[in-house]
Structure 1
Amino acid sequence: MYSQGISVNVVGGGIGGLSATLSLLAAGLDVHLYERAPALGEIGAGVQISPNASRVLHRLGLAEALARTAVRPLALHQRRWNDGRTLQRAPLAGPVEARFGFPYYHMHRADLIAALAGAIPAERIHLGHRLAGFTDTGDGVRAQFANGVGAESDVLVGADGIHSLVRAGLFGAQSPRFTGCVAYRGLVPESRLRDLSIEVTMQAWLGPGRHFVNYFVGGGQLVNFVAVIEQDSWTRESWTDRGDPADVLAAFDGWHPQVRGVLEAADEAFIWALFDRAPLDHWSRGRVTLLGDSCHAMLPFMAQGAAQAIEDGATLAACLAAAGPDPAVALHRYETLRLRRATRLQAMSADNKRRFHLPDGPAQRERDEQLAAGSTGWSFDAIAWLYDHDAAMATAGRPG
């Protein structure tokens, strides 16, 4: 028996779709999730979960599951590319939890997917269902899948990523835009890196035309790395290919020995073209809406992609739980509450690409002075608007 009397079908079984399904179930809605792949999984390696997202996950009962595999980093440590000089060091772990009430986590994406999926009744997740189309009848939405299955619901949610078929059905097909960056991603066993004395921090090494990030995942057993490089075009058919570690090592020639050491220890690296989309004016139409990368795909330079998708699901659930007889009104409220906040983070993430990759010179020195003074978006005071946000309570306040 579902207290709200509203049925919801969610398309997409990534972090956004799973967390939305769990939030909607917790709010008493009748929810089913449909995923095109034959098994749940996640391309990529590490994910950062800041307090604005861990607040949601803990309330959904996942604190114990997260504690088993997540790492609580001691600090955010931004460093200069060649000499390793500290540009800014902001405390995380205990201080961030004391300030914002919930932890900052580093996780393997597969561990987060497993925690979310494990909290959802198995009969609510339908694998091997690729969306073929949908029809909003005004009284409900019928989703049609390529395997011949049809599913009726009061509301349809597109959580199907940057290639979203739900988005295309609502607003027409539009190609994502290449952002001029590619990322090499990989995992290295911690045991191979002990001679490097890597701290349990999120290290971001900033340099001309590129940057490098490393942090621990997998309960501290693995080091995740992301090496972002600017390039003019992307000609591969796939966005995620197996790359040659020698190529990325050559691209970081002259960088700090710790950066080089991580790359030298890597057996493999996957190359990932970074795409985004222009911000939308609307996310919803009738009884159909979007969340996560389907409506606000962003560069990873604020570490907020997954967190914002988790926030979306919590706010959507709160809006639908408070809905009257017309769910479309609740979807409009959800969009109003979420769109400005997500669009702001899209813009900030894009701006960080420029800031992180400044060539050595006057602008770079000015940036480094700002980092040292704590006047950038990474200081606690400046980031409070982001980490203090309570997505489940947003319906009671102003749009974010």
Structure 2
Amino acid sequence: MPRTTTVAVVGGGIGGLAAALALLRAGFDVRVYEQSGAVSQVGAGIQLAPNCARILHRLGVLPAIEKSAFAPATFDFRRWDDGRLLSRTPLGAGIAATYGAPYLHAHRSDLVAVLADAVGPDRIGTGRRCRGVNHDGTGAEVRFADGGTVTADVVVGADGIHSVVREALYGPEQPRFTGHVAYRGLVPAERLSRLNLEPRCTVRLGPGAHFVHYFVSAGRLHNVVCVVEEDSWTRESWTDPGDSEELRAAFTGWHPAVGGIIDALDRPLKWALFDRPPLARWSTGPVTLLGDACHPMLPYGAQGAAQAIEDAAVLAACLEGAGRREVPTALHQYESIRRGRATRVQDMSRANGRRFHLPDGPDQQARDAAMASSFGLSPEIDWLYGHDPMVPETAVA
């Protein structure tokens, strides 16, 4: 009986765990190596659009995710000062019927817990910080900070925008600060009861800033993301404790609901938003990249996790049936299928970052008019939510 192909996944976040689960379902011997002392996910809320939920259903974990998620009724864009509705997209049963999968809001830690449980604790190693990867074309070795190594037929770098695996393949490259920072936090829903917030995802657009809020954790918590602009970020860390007074000042004059939500926040975290240009290649020999390691997504399309999960499904499908000598060819097929779509979603997210922050004036008025006559910001949303990575597409050379 032939030996089962082994896969080492570097990174135990959403993308890495989804890849491990998809590969396990396809019959591979998979191990996940996470640098933290426990598999967890920093951050707060996450949006799971139908293109992502469809894959989670196929992996068998959607029912468990739905138990702790929240299904919003609509996706609303509103004006910053008077709260005027600019665009409303029906979600709920309607979007599930249209695309065959729901639109959900989840807490990141809840999603990670479900994926980790499905992969199994015996296949996840924590406290394993990757220091480098070597390969000889038919196998690879991962080196860890504790001095240990592991060998595998395939190595998947799912270790984020700071990816050590990416650097091992293609050399160091500094990410670019976008000029945007996000204050993030969670508010117990009962603190906001006086605001009578509806079960919707709401994005409020204003000059040089935007404000996102929605329910997660089966409605028990309200996720808040407040994005503002800064000239530079010189701190070594990408996160700082947020200053509540600074945040209030940034949103002075906005709709009263914004001030009410900010007042209910405990001290938020402040995240610098960085970006990288698209990579020309994701794979070398038996080593490949996945998710933010190869296509980091700004949060203005709510697609970062979704695109990593799409990667996971395609990666497993391309490797399924490939012998060890055929791994490099299968990995090339994976990146050829995925690279064009991931780049398109990256571009959409970057463009949304600019559109969301237009100063009041002719460009803003044209944006608002376009939004009023379309599905959100894009008249071609079917390409995003209706995409099925298991349906063959033309590969990018």
TM-score (norm 1): 0.96
Deviation of 1:141 (Å): 0.5
Question: Match of 1:144?
Answer: 143
Question: Match of 1:389?
Answer: 387
Question: Match of 1:361?
Answer: 361
> Equivalent residue of 1:267, what SS?
coil
Question: Match of 1:33?
Answer: 32
Change (3 A) 1:4 1:216: farther
Question: Match of 1:346?
Answer: 346
Deviations, residues 6-37 of structure 1 (Å, cap 9, x unaligned): 21100001100011100110111111100011
Give, as a single letter, the amino acid of the residue that structure 1 aligns with 2:350.
A
Residue correspondence of structure 1 range 119-268 to structure 2 within 5 A: 119-268=118-267
Give, as a single letter, the amino acid of the residue that structure 2 aligns with 1:398.
T
Residue correspondence of structure 1 range 312-351 to structure 2 within 5 A: 312-324=311-323, 325-351=325-351
CA distance in 2, matches of 1:73, 1:244: 30
CA distance in 1, matches of 2:204, 2:138: 53
Question: Match of 2:4?
Answer: 5
CA distance in 2, matches of 1:399, 1:341: 10
Deviations, residues 52-76 of structure 1 (Å, cap 9, x unaligned): 1111111111122112110011111
CA distance in 2, matches of 1:143, 1:111: 29
Deviations, residues 154-209 of structure 1 (Å, cap 9, x unaligned): 11100000000000000000011000100000111100111111111110000000
CA distance in 2, matches of 1:206, 1:322: 48
Deviation of 1:387 (Å): 1.1
- 8 Å CA contact 1:11–1:160 kept in 2: the answer is yes
- 8 Å CA contact 2:138–2:285 kept in 1: the answer is no
CA distance in 2, matches of 1:37, 1:46: 20
Change (3 A) 1:4 1:202: farther
CA distance in 2, matches of 1:184, 1:376: 23
CA distance in 1, matches of 2:20, 2:77: 35
Deviates more, 1:101-110 or 1:146-155: 146-155
- 8 Å CA contact 2:202–2:213 kept in 1: the answer is yes
Deviates more, 1:165-174 or 1:114-123: 114-123
Give, as a single letter, the amino acid of the residue that structure 2 aligns with 1:263.
I
Question: Match of 2:373?
Answer: 373
- 8 Å CA contact 2:87–2:376 kept in 1: the answer is no
Deviation of 1:4 (Å): 8.3
Deviation of 1:375 (Å): 6.2
- 8 Å CA contact 2:207–2:360 kept in 1: the answer is yes
- 8 Å CA contact 1:341–1:399 kept in 2: the answer is no
CA distance in 1, matches of 2:172, 2:245: 37
Deviations, residues 83-137 of structure 1 (Å, cap 9, x unaligned): 0000000001111100000011101111001010011121110111111212112
Q: Unaligned stretches of 5+ in structure 1?
A: none
Question: Match of 2:298?
Answer: 299
Change (3 A) 1:38 1:232: same
CA distance in 1, matches of 2:9, 2:125: 10
- 8 Å CA contact 1:90–1:378 kept in 2: the answer is no
Residue correspondence of structure 1 range 5-154 to structure 2 within 5 A: 5-154=4-153
CA distance in 2, matches of 1:253, 1:387: 35
CA distance in 2, matches of 1:344, 1:356: 18
CA distance in 1, matches of 2:246, 2:72: 29
Change (3 A) 1:162 1:7: same
- 8 Å CA contact 2:375–2:381 kept in 1: the answer is no
- 8 Å CA contact 2:77–2:376 kept in 1: the answer is no
CA distance in 1, matches of 2:319, 2:207: 46
Question: Match of 1:398?
Answer: 394
Change (3 A) 1:368 1:4: farther
Deviates more, 1:163-172 or 1:134-143: 134-143
Q: Does the alignment pair 1:280 with 2:279? A: yes
- Count of matched residue positions in the alignment of Structure 1 and Structure 2: 395
CA distance in 1, matches of 2:29, 2:40: 24
- 8 Å CA contact 2:204–2:211 kept in 1: the answer is yes
> Equivalent residue of 1:89, what SS?
strand
Deviations, residues 289-322 of structure 1 (Å, cap 9, x unaligned): 0000000012100000010001001100000004
